[in-house]
Amino acid sequence: MTAHEEIDLKRFIRHVPDFPKPGILFYDISTLMRNPDAWQLAMGRLARQVAPLKPDLLAAVESRGFLTAAPLADRLGCGLLMLRKCGKLPGDTISHTYDLEYGSDTLEIQADAVQPGQRVVVMDDLLATGGTLAASVALLRKAGANVVGASVMVELTSLGGRNKVDAPVSTLLTYKE
């Protein structure tokens, strides 16, 4: 094992209590991103997880998914598309509305972002309850994508979000709480 392989990336994730609201423990990846060695190692590990899926495109979930998907798409030599909140993309879009704990939300992609059958991996920073990731998979399939997987930097396993996602999920770091 190299020195890089021995680095525990969890020590670079900051835990912020009561953010964005009381009772929520926020797992902040910005502290990992600020450390060049940890960031390079994280991107390398994500690349090893995603490369075997042979994606044509990585689909980045707004907004922190952009942070991992863009450098990973460059590293893997594949394309990148953005899944955005309603009204943020120019041109014709395809949308998918999904339920949240209190209310609903809508994700969109540009109508020409995916060619039928293209192999797509969805990227986000965090998997908690699974609603956004599941909606992303549904939207991409609606657009004709072959969603071959999803990849997240952090998964909160106690919330069971993985069970809602209709695609194989790979995770860099897991937390039980």
Known catalytic residue at 101: yes
Q: How far is CA 57 from CA 81, 149, 167, in A?
A: 7, 11, 15
Q: How far is CA 103 from CA 18, 37, 38, 96, 135, in A?
A: 21, 40, 37, 14, 14
Known catalytic residue at 6: no
Given the residues 11, 14, 84, 101, the one annotated as active site: 101
Contact 156, 136 (CB under 8 A): no
17 phi/psi in degrees, rounded to 5: -70, 150
Given the residues 5, 11, 45, 64, the one annotated as active site: 64
Q: Extract the tokens encoding 143.
A: 């657009």
Catalytically active residues are 64, 101
